[in-house]
Structure 1
Amino acid sequence: MKKLKLFIILVALSVVLAGCGNAEGVYSDKGQVYRKVVSSDISSLDTALVTDTVSFNLFNQVYEGLYSLDKNDKAVPGVAKEMPEESNGGKTLTIKLRKDAKWSNGDPVTAKDFEFAWKRVINPDTASEYAYIMYDLKNAEAINMGKKDVDELGVKAVDDHTLKVELTKPIPYINEMFAFGTFMPQNEKMVKKYGDQYGTTANKTTYNGPFKVKDWKVEDKIQMVKNEDYWDKKAVHLDRINFKVLKDQQAGASLYDTGSVDDAGITAEQVDKYKDDPGLMKRLLASTFYIKMNQKNVPEFKNKDLRMAISQSIDKEGYVNSVKNNGSKAMDGFTSSLTAKTPDGKDFASTINSPLEYNPKAAKKNLEKAKKELGIKELTFTMNTEDTPDAKISAEYIKSQVESNLPGVTMKIKQLPFKQRLNQENKETFEASLSGWGPDFPDPLSYLNIMTKDSSQNNTGWGSEKYDNLVKEANGSLLQKPKERNAAMQEAEELMLKDAPVAPVYQKGEAHLINPQVKGIVYHQVGGDTSLKHVKIDKHIDPKTGKKKKE
Structure 2
Amino acid sequence: MKTKKYISLVVVLALLLTTLVGCGKESKTVDKGRKDEGQAVEQEIDSEQYLNLIMSAEPSTLDASKGADSYSNGILNNVLEPLTRLEEDKDLKNVLAPAGAEGWEHNEDGTVWTFKIRDAKWSDGEPVRAQDYEYGIKRTLKPDTAAPYAYLLAPIKNAAKVNSGELPVEELGVKSLDDKTLEITLESPTPYFLQLTYQRVMLPQRQDMVEKHGDKYGSEIDTLVYNGPFIISNWAHNSEMVLAKNENYWDADKVKLNNINVKILSDENAIYNSLANGSIDSTGVGKPEWIERFKGNKDLEQLEVINPSTFFMFFNTQDELFKNANVRKAFSLAIDREELADVIFHGINVPAYGWVSPSISVEDNEYRTLVEEPLKKLAEENKDPKALLVKGLEELGMDTDTSKLTVKMTLGSTDQWFRTYGEYVQQMYNENLGINFEVEFVEWPVFSSMVEKGEFQIGYMAWGAEFNDPISLLSLLKSDSGAIQTGWSNARYDELISLASKEMDAEKRLEYYTEAEKILLYDESVLAPTVYPRSNVFKYKYVNGLGVTPFGTSGYKYGYTQGR
| Change in CA separation of 1:404 and 1:348 when aligned onto 2, cut-off 3 Å | closer
Residues in 2 aligned to 1:311 and 1:246: alpha-carbon distance in whole angstroms = 39
Is 1:447 matched with 2:473?
A: yes
Which string of whole-angstrom CA distances, capped at 9 and with x for unpartnered residues, describes residues 216-253 of structure 1?
635x6544333344333343232333444555544432
Shift of 1:428: 9.8
Q: Contact 1:235/1:534 (CA < 8 Å) preserved in 2?
A: yes
- 1:67 touches 1:77 (CA, 8 Å); kept in 2? yes
Instruction: Note closer, same or farther for the CA distance 1:133–1:315 as it changes in structure 2 (3 Å cut).
Output: same
Displacement of 1:168: 3.7
Distance 1:147 1:422, change over 3 A: farther
- Residue of structure 2 equivalent to 1:334: 355
How far apart, CA to CA, are the structure 2 residues paired with 1:243 and 1:367? 57
- The residue that corresponds to 2:235 in the other structure is 215
Matched, 1:99 2:122: no
Contact 1:290 1:502 in 2 (8 A): no
Greater relative contact order (Cα < 8 A, sep 6+): 2
Q: Quick one: structure 1 residues 222 and 344, their matched pair in 2 at CA, closer, same or farther if it must change by over 3 Å? A: closer
| CA distance in 2: counterparts of 1:114 and 1:374, whole angstroms | 60
TM-score by length of 1: 0.75
For residue 506 of structure 1, report the CA deviation from its aligned partner.
1.7
Map Cα deviations across residues 24-50 of structure 1 (whole Å, 9 max, x no partner): xxxxx9953323344565444233344
**Same amino acid, percent of matched pairs:** 26
Following superposition, the deviation at residue 287 of structure 1 comes to 1.4
Mapped contact 1:312–1:363 kept (Cα < 8 A): no
What is the CA-CA distance between 1:362 and the residue it aligns to? Answer: 2.2
1:438 has 2:465 as partner: yes
Change (3 A) 1:487 1:73: same
Equivalent-residue separation in structure 2 for 1:425 and 1:37 (angstroms): 37
Distance 1:469 1:309, change over 3 A: same
Q: Which amino acid aligns with 1:235?
A: K
Partner of 1:467: 493
Mapped partners of 2:412, 2:340: distance in 1: 18
Counterpart AA for 1:409? F
Letter in 1 for 2:465: G
1:518 to 533, 543, 564: 543
Q: 2:282 aligns with which of 263, 270, 280?
A: 263
2:412–2:447 CA contact under 8 A, matched in 1 = no
Corresponding residue number in structure 2 for 1:12: none
Q: What is the identity, as a one-letter code, of the residue corresponding to 1:290?
A: F
Which residue of structure 2 lines up, in the alignment, with residue 63 of structure 1? 80
Structure 1, unaligned runs of 5 or more: 1-28, 542-551
User: Aligned partner of 1:410: which letter?
Assistant: E
Choose from 33, 40, 54 the match for 2:50. Answer: 33
* Cα offsets for 1:502-530 (capped at 9, x unmatched): 432222222222111211112224255x6
Instruction: After TM superposition, give the deviation of residue 166 of structure 1 in Å.
Output: 1.9
> What does residue range 239-258 of structure 1 map to in structure 2 within 5 Å?
239-246=258-265, 249-258=268-277
* 1:160 to 1:44, Cα distance in 2 relative to 1, 3 A: same
- Equivalent AA in structure 2 for residue 113 of structure 1: D
- In structure 2, runs of 5+ residues without a counterpart are 1-45
Q: CA deviation at 1:335?
A: 0.9
Determine whether 1:230 maps to 2:249.
Answer: yes
How far apart are the structure 1 equivalents of 2:368 and 2:66?
A: 32
Structure 2 Cα separation of the partners of residues 203 and 48 of structure 1: 18
Q: Offset at 1:404?
A: 4.0
Structure 1 residue 362 and structure 2 residue 366: aligned?
A: no
Contact 2:314 2:486 in 1 (8 A): yes
2:64 to 43, 47, 62: 47
In the alignment, residue 536 of structure 1 is paired with which amino acid? Answer: Y
Distance 1:319 1:280, change over 3 A: farther
| C-alpha distance 260-83 of structure 1, shift in aligned 2 (>3 A) | same
- Are the equivalent residues in 1 in contact too, given 2:305–2:549 (CA < 8 A)? no
* Structure 2 partner of 1:132: 151
Rounded to whole Å, the distance in 2 between the matches of 1:263 and 1:428 is 44
Q: CA separation of 1:352/1:257 partners in 2, compared to 1, >3 Å: closer, same or farther?
A: closer
Aligned to 2:184, what secondary structure does the other structure show? strand
**1:111 pairs with 2:130:** yes
The residue number in structure 2 matching 1:505 is 530
- Structure 2 equivalent of residue 9 of structure 1: none
Task: Tell me the SS of whatever aligns to 2:310.
Answer: strand
State the distance in 2 between where 1:34 and 1:94 align.
Answer: 37
Report if aligned partners of 1:154, 1:166 keep a CA contact under 8 Å in 2. Answer: yes
Cα distance change of structure 1 residues 83 and 424 upon mapping to structure 2, 3 Å threshold: farther
- The one-letter amino acid of 2:342's match is N
1: distance between equivalents of 2:280 and 2:70? Answer: 21
Distance 2:309 2:483 in 1: 14
Q: Is 2:406–2:437's contact at 8 Å kept on the other side of the alignment?
A: yes
1:237 aligned partner, one-letter code: K
Question: Would you say the 8 A contact 1:341–1:348 is kept in 2?
Answer: no
Q: Higher mean Cα deviation, 369-378 or 429-438?
A: 369-378
Cα separation, partners in 2 of 1:53 and 1:314, compared to 1, 3 Å:
farther
With over 3 angstroms needed to count, the CA separation of the structure-2 counterparts of 1:262 and 1:459, relative to structure 1, is farther
Over the aligned positions, Cα root-mean-square deviation in angstroms equals 4.3
